[in-house]
């Protein structure tokens, strides 16, 4: 029997229109373009404006674009995994809301929270549903409205995050293309350095939690940086070694876009040259679950069937990991 692998067969993305520039941030907090550029590489980020709009409003148009590109209708989707840290509601899952909005009547769905590594965890999880042979069309969407948990008076975090979403379709492949391997890790002791203090079951929302601004992102930047730089580089080198890939074999590195310095360190450790590294942090900042699929979406035209691609991420939890995949199609847009 031919082995079934899970391959990405289409991508869609969505970015809200509003651009929050470094110049505008200079009017909001004590910061400057030069500091932001040299420490993070970010020039601007997108913000979803409008009353009553949430993460599903980023994810739904991304999936709709994907369906249109692939020429399939929403009722053909079997499963939607929504990777997010900013769900529309605490419950039900944003995946269910997305299904309703796009008319995916036959799909089941759930949310997956692994912070900035969420898309990788989602891709690995979704691939198993395809490899089992039980499902034929699985959507993994990475979507976050980070502006809903950013304190725009905190200069250490508000300069980093942005809103955005992108989705991939996984389908069975019998040519050995698609997801080849994954290494996923987590260390819960790292949670103290990056989390949202209130709003969960430990500290339900109250007037006090609002007054203390505990519904916003709390990040100890330097501590996270230290772990991110080491772990993202290590796991990327490990997946190359495990799969006997040299730097020449790797066509693209698709890193989580948190900080250009972390990305540079990862590429250096892998021995991969800059021209093989997807980098769009300057335009969108850190969109958490959106970063990796947004890169694939933007670079889709340049990807060739058979390309060896390494996806790597590090994020809150701590969570981190790498996925090795072989690109499954040539695009002629
Ligand atoms: O995606 C999830 C995982 N997250 C990450 O991977 C983020 C990892 N961390 C980072 O990317 C970096 O730590 C940051 C970009 C968050 C911060 O950069 P840093 O080089 O670690 O700066 P720092 O926190 O050490 O701050 C250096 C100085 C401080 O001033 P003093 O104490 O030296 O006087 C800060 O108060 O820069 C100051 N500072 C700022 N100055 C201007 C902090 N934020 C700003 C700002 N503008 N926005």
286 is catalytic: yes
**CA–CA gap between residue 225 and residue 228 (Å, rounded):** 5
- Taking CA atoms only, the protein residue closest to ligand 1 atom 3 is 315
Residues 34 and 197: their CA atoms lie apart, in Å, by: 31
Annotated active-site residue in 83, 116, 158, 295: 116
Active site residue 256: yes
Among candidate residues 141, 205, 199, the one with its CA nearest the CA of residue 167:
141
| Per-residue DSSP letter, 14 | E
CB under 6 Å to ligand 1: residues? 31, 35, 39-40, 116, 155-156, 159, 221-222, 224-225, 228, 258-259, 262, 286, 314-316
DSSP string across 263-331 = HHHHHHHHT--GGGB---HHHH-B-GGGHHHHHHHHHGGG--TT-EEEEEEEETTTEEEEEEEE-----
Closest by CA to 325, choosing from 302, 300, 305, is: 305
Give 310's strand partners. Answer: 253, 324
Question: Nearest C-alpha to atom 17 of ligand 1 is from which residue?
Answer: 221
Considering Cα of 282, then 285, then 289, then 290, what sign does the dihedral take? negative
Angle at 284 between CA 164 and CA 98, to 5 degrees: 5
Tokens of 150: 């950013």
Residues sharing a CB contact under 8 Å with residue 226, sequence separation 6 or more, in sequence order = none
C-beta of residue 178 within 8 angstroms of C-beta of residue 7? yes
Q: Which of 96, 231, 286, 308 is catalytic?
A: 286
Q: How far is CA 174 from CA 4, 74, 132, in A?
A: 5, 24, 13
What tens-digit pLDDT sequence spans the chain (333 residues)? 789 999 999 999 999 999 999 999 999 999 999 999 999 999 999 999 999 999 999 999 999 999 999 999 999 999 999 999 999 999 999 999 999 999 999 999 999 999 999 999 999 999 999 999 999 999 999 999 999 999 999 999 999 999 999 999 999 999 999 999 999 999 999 999 999 999 999 999 999 999 999 999 999 999 999 999 999 999 999 999 999 999 999 999 999 999 999 999 999 999 999 999 999 999 999 999 999 999 999 999 999 999 999 999 999 999 999 999 999 999 865
List the residue whose alpha carbon is closest to atom 23 of ligand 1.
222
Per-domain residue ranges of the chain: 5-176, 180-326
Please give the helix or strand (H or E) that residue 225 lies within, else none. helix 221-242
Angle (CA) 45-48-53 rounded to 5° is 160
CA atoms within 13 A on the CB side of 258: 27
Task: Give the Å distance between the CA of 230 and the centre of ligand 1.
Answer: 18
Residue ID of nearest Cα to ligand 1 atom 44: 156
| Distance in angstroms (rounded) separating the CA atoms of residues 319 and 27 | 34
Under a CB-based contact definition with an 8 Å cutoff, are residues 103 and 75 in contact?
yes
**Homologous superfamily of the 5-176 domain (CATH):** Thiolase/Chalcone synthase (3.40.47.10)
219 Cα–ligand 1 center, Å: 10
Contact (Cβ atoms closer than 8 angstroms) between residue 114 and residue 186: yes
> How large is the C-alpha radius of gyration of the chain?
19
Length of the chain: 333
Note whether 5-176 and 180-326 share their fold.
yes
Question: Which one of 222, 231, 257, 264 would you pick to mutate in the ligand 1 pocket, going by the greatest count of ligand atoms within 8 A of its CB?
Answer: 222
Predicted confidence at residue 2, as pLDDT, reads: 85
Structure confidence at residue 331 (pLDDT)? 86
Give the number of other Cβ atoms within 10 Å of residue 265's Cβ.
19
12 bridge partner residues: 167
207 is catalytic: no
Could you write out the three-class secondary structure of 34-64? HHHHHHHCCCEEEECCCCCCCCHHHHHHHHH
- Per the CB < 8 A criterion, the answer to whether 325 and 178 are in contact is yes
pLDDT score for 332:
65
- Per the structure block, which two tokens stand in for 44? 């601007």
Q: Which long-range contacts link 152-156 to residues 24+ away (Cβ below 8 Å)? A: 152/28, 152/29, 153/28, 153/29, 154/29, 154/216, 155/29, 155/30, 155/31, 156/219, 156/221
292 CA distance to ligand 1 centroid (A)?
23
CATH class entry, domain 180-326: alpha beta
Nearest residue (by CA) to ligand 1, atom 25, is: 222
Q: Which two tokens stand for residue 1?
A: 């029997």
CA 117 to chain CA centroid, nearest Å: 7
Two tokens at 28? 């909001």
């Amino acid at each position: 029997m031919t082995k079934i692998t899970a391959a990405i067969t289409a991508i869609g993305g969505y970015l809200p229109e509003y651009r929050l520039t470094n110049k505008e941030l200079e009017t909001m907090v004590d910061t400057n373009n030069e500091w932001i550029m040299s420490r993070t590489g970010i020039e601007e980020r997108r913000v979803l404006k409008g009353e009553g709009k949430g993460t599903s409003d980023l994810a739904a148009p991304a999936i709709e674009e994907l369906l249109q590109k692939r020429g399939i209708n929403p009722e053909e989707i079997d499963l939607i995994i929504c990777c997010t840290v900013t769900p529309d509601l605490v419950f039900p899952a944003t995946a269910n809301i997305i299904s309703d909005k796009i008319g995916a009547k036959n799909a089941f769905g759930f949310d997956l929270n692994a912070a900035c590594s969420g898309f990788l965890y989602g891709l690995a999880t979704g691939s198993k549903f395809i490899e089992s042979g039980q499902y034929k069309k699985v959507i993994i969407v990475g979507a976050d409205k980070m502006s809903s948990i950013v304190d725009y008076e905190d200069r250490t975090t508000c300069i980093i995050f942005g809103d955005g979403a992108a989705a991939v379709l996984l389908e069975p492949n019998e040519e050995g293309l698609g997801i080849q391997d994954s290494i996923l890790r987590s260390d819960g002791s790292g949670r103290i350095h990056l989390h949202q203090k209130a709003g969960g079951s430990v500290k339900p929302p109250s007037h006090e939690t609002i007054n203390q601004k505990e519904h916003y992102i709390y990040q100890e930047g330097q501590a996270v940086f230290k772990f991110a730089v080491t772990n993202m580089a290590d796991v990327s080198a490990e997946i190359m070694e495990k799969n006997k890939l040299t730097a020449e074999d790797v066509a693209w590195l698709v890193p989580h876009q948190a900080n250009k310095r972390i990305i540079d360190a990862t590429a250096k450790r892998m021995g991969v040259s800059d021209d093989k590294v997807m980098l769009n942090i300057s335009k969108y900042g850190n969109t958490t679950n959106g970063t990796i699929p947004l890169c694939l979406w933007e670079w889709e035209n340049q990807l060739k069937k058979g390309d060896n691609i390494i996806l790597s991420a590090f994020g809150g939890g701590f969570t981190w990991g790498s996925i090795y995949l072989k690109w499954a199609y040539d695009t002629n847009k």
